[in-house]
């Protein structure tokens, strides 16, 4: 584990290029040049912004909807739970690439499912993936759809760990459904909530397949994410030193979030 | 990502896990008006419809004729079910080859994970040696390191080893995942030490104990590990994309993505692409539905994405 972390770090301080794939130790040490260049690189800054957009909007949506479905499944019904759970979880197991190809077609402005729905009510569907403003929200919608199941399963496990006595006591004291959710469920689920938020955040920070398949980062880089940018720099243009610096910036962000989570959890268990 | 944040210990018996509707609900439930219950069912049904809509659209489109794919007003259910999309796709893409590649890689990755993760997990759970805890911390750390961080040095390493465009290059980086080691270690910790001591007294060697006593006891964990590893490998995209240049070594996702994003638009119609997605997603969904309890248990117990 330490080796690739250090190797990537080392590469990020060099001008590692295609010729160095065969002669790695010929790469020149250039200090922080790559990092300086990164933060003056509009493309990288755009990709950083896009990734942040994806995370900041996508994570709360995923976690909230996952929680809602989990609560409905666990406390709202008593039949067909397995059926619903399997249904909501199914997108998680499917191949992202295949699903992204499907979503691209679902959102197709002339022949897609959404276009068909729009035309049923007499409207024309916008070109979701071809629009700078709509492409990213579309991608977020797909991510929420695909990852909601993971969060739901975590919450169901968390909900089942809440003793029924607690709920019954609350109900005897006259708590309504909303009060029960607000005062019992959410506080007791806090560790799960944090955990779900963090794994979703980490997953979303690495988002790659969706823009790769659906938009190739376009239109005009509006869906270019850090991972996609890194892939292109590293494996299409073979600016591998530079790409390593990108990978490292992302890594530091992810580590920061993980450490923050561990700290929050510790406070929580006190 | 670590032991502290995992909801529920891995070692808990899977049978206690969520899922089965409990026959007798708490008494309070009965007093709730059934209107609310109906509303909840309606909401969930609507949610499920939205969740399954892309799959339904994929299946329906895969069997539509070109005319119905682009018809306006839209055709929801094909009036004439056709296999043409599949036939055309097979003409353009050597799907059996990619299918075989995906299967070979997934099976090799899974087998090696079963063996190596169990061995490491056993050593970390049951053997005393210097630095054991440090190794375990490393495993936990590896769980947190995003895979993307390793791509660049890994590519250089694999190129130097001349493993680009080889099965070994696709399998080796995933041969023993940190998640598997963590899962097996947690599970094996619940095996009583007395059992192993008794076997040692009777003169059994570590090798015998591991294969004959420990492994049969951790079958549920092995099942969970196999499912997740198979699935992870089948769905894996970034590394196979990087580690293959020769189309003959593409796995299914790489072949489909390359085909679907071909800038020369030599790629197929939407019908062909839906047929391709259908063929990739179908085995996964079938396996998932057949073994769904293992999936949700694995997620809930190990908190893995």
Side-chain-facing half-sphere of A163: CA atoms under 13 Å: 4
For B171-200, write each residue's pLDDT tens digit: 998 888 888 999 899 888 888 888 999 999
- B117 versus A184: the higher-pLDDT residue is B117
Write down the pLDDT at residue B298: 62
Q: For the residues of B156-171, what is the DSSP string, one character each?
A: HHHHHTT-TTSHHHHH
Q: Do B2 and A254 touch (CB under 8 A)?
A: no
CB B124 within 8 A of CB B132: yes
Whole-Å CA distances, A262 to A190, A256, B136 = 13, 10, 17
Within-domain flag for B12:
no
Q: For the residues of A50-90, what is the DSSP string, one character each?
A: HHHHHHHHHHHHHHHHHHHHHHIIIII-SSSHHHHHHHHHH
Give the model's confidence band at A194: pLDDT under 50 very low, under 70 low, under 90 confident, else very high: confident
Beta-bridge partners for A14: A29
Within-domain flag for B53:
no
Candidates A11, A116, A119; nearest CB to B152: A11
Chain B positions touching A170 (Cβ under 8 A) are none
Within-domain flag for B5:
no
For B239-285, write each residue's pLDDT tens digit: 999 999 998 999 999 999 988 887 766 556 888 899 999 999 998 89
Q: For the residues of B27-76, what is the DSSP string, one character each?
A: GGGGGS-HHHHHHHHHHHHHHHHHHHHHHHHHHHHHTS-HHHHS-SSPPS
Candidates A21, A90, A206; nearest CB to B146: A206
Torsion angles phi and psi, residue A29, rounded to 5: -75, 125
Residue B258: give its domain's CATH number: 1.10.3720.10
Structural domain including B244 reads 93-302
Taking 70 as the pLDDT cut, the residues of chain B under it are 1-33, 264-268, 295-305
Chain A positions touching B305 (Cβ under 8 A) are 150, 199, 203
ipTM above 0.90, yes or no: no
Within-domain flag for B39:
no
Write down the pLDDT at residue A143: 95
Within-domain flag for B44:
no
DSSP tally for chain A: helices H, then strands E = 14, 0
Chain B positions touching A261 (Cβ under 8 A) are 1, 5
Q: How many domains does chain B have?
A: 1
**Which class is domain A2-9+31-269?**
mainly alpha
Which of B172, B162, B254, B154 lies closest to A240 in space, CA to CA?
B154
Beta-bridge partners for A29: A14
* Separation CA A137–CA A129 (nearest Å): 9
* Separation CA A200–CA A177 (nearest Å): 27
CB A227 within 8 A of CB A249: no
CB A73 within 8 A of CB A84: yes
Residues in contact with B176: Cβ distance below 8 Å, sequence separation at least 6, in sequence order: B112, B113, B116, B117, B120
Chain B positions touching A4 (Cβ under 8 A) are 145, 149-150, 153-154
Within-domain flag for B65:
no
Write down the pLDDT at residue B296: 64
Candidates B44, B237, B289; nearest CB to A77: B44
């Amino acid at each position: 584990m330490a080796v690739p972390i250090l190797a990537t770090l080392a590469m990020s301080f060099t001008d590692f290029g295609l010729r160095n794939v065969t002669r790695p130790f010929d790469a020149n040490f250039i200090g922080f040049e790559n990092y300086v260049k990164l933060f003056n690189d509009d493309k990288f800054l755009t990709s950083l912004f896009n990734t942040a957009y994806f995370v900041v909007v996508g994570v709360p949506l995923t976690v909230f909807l996952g929680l809602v479905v989990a609560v409905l499944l666990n406390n709202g019904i008593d039949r067909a739970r397995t059926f619903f759970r399997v249904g909501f979880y199914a997108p998680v197991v499917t191949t992202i690439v295949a699903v992204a190809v499907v979503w691209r077609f679902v959102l197709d402005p002339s022949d897609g499912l959404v276009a068909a729905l729009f035309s049923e009510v007499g409207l024309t569907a916008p070109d979701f993936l071809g629009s700078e403003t709509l492409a990213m929200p579309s991608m977020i919608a797909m991510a929420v759809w695909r990852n909601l199941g993971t969060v739901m399963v975590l919450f169901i496990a968390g909900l089942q760990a809440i003793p029924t006595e607690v709920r019954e006591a609350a109900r005897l004291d006259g708590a309504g459904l909303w009060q029960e959710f607000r005062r019992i469920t959410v506080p007791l689920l806090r560790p799960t909530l944090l955990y779900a938020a963090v794994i979703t955040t980490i997953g979303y920070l690495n988002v790659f397949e969706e823009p790769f398949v659906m938009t190739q980062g376009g239109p005009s880089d509006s869906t270019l994410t850090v991972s996609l940018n890194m892939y292109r720099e590293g494996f299409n243009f073979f600016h591998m030193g530079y790409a390593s610096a990108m990978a490292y910036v992302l890594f530091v962000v992810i580590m920061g979030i993980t450490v923050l989570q561990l700290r929050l959890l510790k406070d929580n268990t006190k | 990502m670590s032991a502290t944040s995992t909801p529920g210990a891995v070692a808990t018996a899977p049978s206690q896990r969520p899922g089965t509707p409990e026959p007798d609900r708490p008494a309070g439930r009965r007093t709730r008006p059934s209107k609310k219950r109906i509303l909840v069912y309606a909401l969930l049904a609507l949610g499920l419809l939205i969740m399954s809509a892309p799959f339904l659209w994929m299946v329906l489109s895969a069997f539509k004729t070109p005319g119905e794919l682009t018809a306006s007003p839209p055709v929801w259910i094909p009036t004439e079910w056709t296999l043409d999309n599949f036939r055309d796709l097979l003409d353009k893409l050597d799907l059996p080859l990619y299918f075989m590649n995906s299967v070979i890689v997934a099976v090799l990755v899974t087998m090696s994970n079963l063996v190596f993760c169990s061995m490491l997990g056993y050593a970390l759970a049951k053997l005393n040696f210097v630095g054991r805890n440090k190794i375990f911390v490393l495993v936990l750390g590896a769980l947190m390191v995003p895979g993307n961080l390793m791509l660049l040095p890994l590519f250089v390493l694999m190129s130097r080893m001349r493993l680009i465009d080889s099965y070994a290059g696709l399998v080796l980086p995933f041969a023993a995942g940190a998640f598997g080691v963590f899962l097996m270690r947690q599970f094996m910790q619940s095996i009583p030490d007395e059992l192993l001591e008794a076997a040692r007294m009777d003169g059994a060697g570590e090798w015998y104990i591991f294969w004959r006593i420990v492994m049969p006891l951790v079958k549920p964990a092995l099942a969970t590990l196999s499912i997740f590893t198979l699935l992870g490998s089948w769905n894996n995209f970034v590394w196979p994309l990087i580690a293959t240049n020769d189309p003959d070594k593409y796995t299914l996702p790489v072949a489909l993505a390359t085909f679907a994003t071909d800038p020369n638009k030599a790629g197929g119609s939407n019908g062909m692409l839906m047929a391709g997605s259908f063929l990739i997603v179908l085995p996964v969904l079938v396996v998932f539905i057949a073994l769904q309890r293992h999936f949700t248990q694995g997620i809930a117990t190990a908190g893995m994405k």
